[in-house]
Chain A
Amino acid sequence: MDLDKQNANPTILNPSDLPSRRRTSAVHRRDHGGSGLFDDLIPQYNYLNDPFEQPVSSSDSDDDAVEAIDEQEVYDLISSISDPEHPLSLGSLAVVNLPDIHIIPPASPYSSISTVLVEITPTITHCSLATVIGLGVRVRLEQALPPRFRVDVRIKKGTHSTDEAVNKQLGDKERVAAALENGTLMGVLRKMLSTCE
């Protein structure tokens, strides 16, 4: 069956080499035998509640309530997405990498809109699944991050033969919305994201 795959023999990173806040998590995960890396992190963070709703000038000593999301957390949200053709995570295939995740603060003091920029590295330069992977990353972040984040997903420059075309598609809100109403494509995405829950 591997012959049908566009990249039948991808490079796979050792789980203990993946970026994580908890050095022990790799060991811990083996005990549970599942994709525990992400599960372990869930209770530690409150990013599913929009911190923007909280009054900024509250007496709460936690000054950085609004800035509760950093690159590592974004990485944790998307590294557990499954590759559409391998039973492996985007993190272990090095499709998503921590240094390629950027959080850009609001452009103006009057704005509350932050931007998350994720550059993905397809496993091979002509991988036609790059768009689907990018779409999966965008959908995952749009669902998991508070709505004050705009999500930009791009192919890392020079890693893909048609990166401009793919970037344009991934950046087009209307195309993304239409894609999510496509049952077949949604089935593929749901499968990719099933390892995130």
Chain B
Amino acid sequence: MPPPQDAPSYTIHPLATLSPPSNSRTWQTAPHPTQPIVATACSDRSVRVYSLTSFTLLHSITGGHKRSVRSVSWKPGTKGQSVLATGSFDTSAGIWRREERGALEDDFTRRRREEDDEEEEDDDYQFACILDGHESEIKSLSWNPSGQYLATCGRDKSVWIWEELEDDNFETVAVLQEHDGDVKCVAWHPEEDLLASASYDDTVRLYREDADDWVQVALINGHDKTVWWVEFEGSGMSGKDFRKQREGLSEEQTQHIELMERSGPRLATCSDDCSIRIWRRKPKEHGDHADSHTGIPSIIRSMAIDEDWLEDAILPQRHDRAIYSLSWSRRTGMIVSAGSDGKIVVYKERWKSPMTNGVRADGEAKADPNAMEEEQEPSLAEWVVAAELYSAHDVFEINHVCWARRADKGSRWEDEEVIVSTGDDGEVKLWTLDERSAST
């Protein structure tokens, strides 16, 4: 007899707890875009930078914020230095820089190395500038993929977009006040200048620049409680996840992949309502460019910029309290989630088997086969639980979870990932994901 189809196919194993842990709640951990380090936002007003190679504390950034550091984000694409943005309950965001010693030694001659003694004290993260503007706590911040923009959001219901004109000179390019409640999280699209925000008002909103003004282009309703986290799928995932294997696919499946590729990276959200939802942009039809019909430039902003985001899937419900965070693997397309119930759950997407395609898992036949022809046809793919782990941080809540590239000696293959979880116990833990057959 084959094993039950929905039995988790992976197990989550502890790899390390980053040491020493913080004495108080830790909120969020951000892996560096290129180096094997992570930065952790701590409620003791500090940021801790740990090594993913030795699992030890490298730097403690203190003295900048007057309240909890709630969010951290590494600026992508920096050369020779690391740039970290920190968002705090003290209403401000900070920018910190550190020259990368290794890069200096590679790039410069011995002459440079003689100056090392003087630079010794610069080895730490240096405060660069402060971004003031929010009226109350900053809850999240995020650099866009090019590093041109930094988005911040907070309890004052606003989302701010900052542009770095030159080093440490930031200009406010937008203050977006569409939400009716705290804005909990901001996230950038991996390919486009498209920003998403999730809120206490239960909605998700998307923004883009239109004629020099950033405007809301989509409103996503679907959760019925606070949306805690929003994150885009990685770029080009159809060449990496379950869609990678193209042989033996049916015509429908091939069409499905093409449709998904036209939509571009999807969006995942998680909520206090204990659900995780995937959203997909409705691809624009060629006839959608309304301007071309009239040829008259409108003073009202063109509707063509508005986007429709449709619910693509609801993940199997495995959490029974608020889900605070999720993360979409850029390598495998798997999603990991965590929250108040202390569980870590990993989900993966797959083709529905022919068995479950026409007949529902509970044996009930599809009510209307013509539903397939409708505009929002049922997906040919489905999400299943790949692994789950109870009490990952003992009895404590998990505030954040993400994927990072494994960097210790035990790494088993190139691009192996670890799960990084951040908890109320002040601990940042690393976990490996092992295929069940391989682990026994």
Complex CA gap A178/B91 in Å reads 11
Q: Please state if B43 and A177 are interface contacts (CB–CB under 8 Å).
A: yes
Complex CA gap A147/B397 in Å reads 9
| A171 surroundings in chain B (CB, below 8 A) | 272, 322
Q: Please state if A177 and B25 are interface contacts (CB–CB under 8 Å).
A: yes
Complex CA gap A16/B91 in Å reads 48
B103 on the A face (CB < 8 A): no
Interface string of B139-177 (1 = CB under 8 A from A): 100000000000000010000000000000000000000
Q: Please state if B395 and A177 are interface contacts (CB–CB under 8 Å).
A: no
Q: Please state if A52 and B395 are interface contacts (CB–CB under 8 Å).
A: yes
Complex CA gap A148/B139 in Å reads 26
- Those of B38-74 within 8 Å (CB) of chain A: 43, 67-68, 70
Q: Please state if B68 and A113 are interface contacts (CB–CB under 8 Å).
A: no
| B184 surroundings in chain A (CB, below 8 A) | 174
Q: Please state if A107 and B320 are interface contacts (CB–CB under 8 Å).
A: yes
Complex CA gap A147/B340 in Å reads 12
Complex CA gap A146/B200 in Å reads 28
| B155 surroundings in chain A (CB, below 8 A) | 175, 178
- Those of A136-158 within 8 Å (CB) of chain B: 146-148, 150
Interface of A is mostly: loop
Complex CA gap A146/B396 in Å reads 10
- Those of B418-432 within 8 Å (CB) of chain A: 424
What is the size category of the interface that chain A forms with chain B?
Answer: 20 to 34
| B321 surroundings in chain A (CB, below 8 A) | 113, 150
B417 on the A face (CB < 8 A): no
A24 on the B face (CB < 8 A): no
Complex CA gap A112/B397 in Å reads 12
Q: Please state if A147 and B226 are interface contacts (CB–CB under 8 Å).
A: no
Q: Which of B322, B342, B391, B395 contacts A146 (CB under 8 A)?
A: B395
Q: Which of B68, B322, B340, B341 contacts A181 (CB under 8 A)?
A: B68
Q: Which residue of A lies closest to B322 (CB)?
A: A173
Q: Please state if A175 and B341 are interface contacts (CB–CB under 8 Å).
A: no
Q: Which of B25, B89, B182, B395 contacts A112 (CB under 8 A)?
A: B395
Complex CA gap A94/B54 in Å reads 55
Interface string of B225-238 (1 = CB under 8 A from A): 11000000000000
| A150 surroundings in chain B (CB, below 8 A) | 321, 340, 397
| B397 surroundings in chain A (CB, below 8 A) | 150, 173
Q: Please state if A113 and B341 are interface contacts (CB–CB under 8 Å).
A: yes
A44 on the B face (CB < 8 A): no
Q: Which residue of A lies closest to B139 (CB)?
A: A174
Contact A175/B68 with A112-B391, A168-B200 known, Cβ cut-off 8 Å: no
Q: Please state if B226 and A168 are interface contacts (CB–CB under 8 Å).
A: yes
A172 on the B face (CB < 8 A): yes
| A177 surroundings in chain B (CB, below 8 A) | 25, 43, 68, 89
Interface string of B386-409 (1 = CB under 8 A from A): 000011001111000000000000
| B390 surroundings in chain A (CB, below 8 A) | 108, 110-112
Q: Please state if B395 and A178 are interface contacts (CB–CB under 8 Å).
A: no
Q: Which of B25, B226, B343 contacts A172 (CB under 8 A)?
A: B226
Interface string of A88-117 (1 = CB under 8 A from B): 000000000000000000011011110000
| A168 surroundings in chain B (CB, below 8 A) | 200, 225-226
Complex CA gap A140/B26 in Å reads 21
B312 on the A face (CB < 8 A): no
| B137 surroundings in chain A (CB, below 8 A) | 174, 178
Q: Please state if B342 and A113 are interface contacts (CB–CB under 8 Å).
A: yes
Complex CA gap A113/B340 in Å reads 10
| B89 surroundings in chain A (CB, below 8 A) | 177-178, 181
- Those of B324-344 within 8 Å (CB) of chain A: 324, 340-343
Q: Which residue of B lies closest to A149 (CB)?
A: B395
Q: Please state if B68 and A147 are interface contacts (CB–CB under 8 Å).
A: no
Complex CA gap A174/B341 in Å reads 16
Complex CA gap A43/B259 in Å reads 67
Determine how close the nearest CB of chain A comes to the CB of B10; give it in whole angstroms. Answer: 17
Complex CA gap A108/B390 in Å reads 10
Complex CA gap A178/B390 in Å reads 28
Determine how close the nearest CB of chain B comes to the CB of A105; give it in whole angstroms. Answer: 12
Complex CA gap A173/B131 in Å reads 25
| B200 surroundings in chain A (CB, below 8 A) | 168, 172
14 pairs from A and B in contact (CB 8 Å cutoff): A108-B320, A110-B390, A111-B343, A111-B390, A111-B391, A147-B395, A168-B200, A171-B322, A173-B324, A177-B25, A177-B89, A178-B89, A181-B67, A181-B68
* Chain B residues close to A by CB (< 8 Å): 25, 43, 67-68, 70, 89, 136-137, 139, 155, 182, 184, 200, 225-226, 272, 320-322, 324, 340-343, 390-391, 394-397, 424
- A-B pairs with lowest CB-CB distance, top 8: A148-B395, A110-B390, A107-B320, A181-B67, A178-B137, A147-B395, A178-B89, A111-B390
In the complex, given contacts A110-B390, A146-B395, A147-B394, what are 5 additional A-B residue pairs having Cβ atoms less than 8 angstroms apart? A113-B341, A150-B340, A174-B139, A174-B184, A181-B67
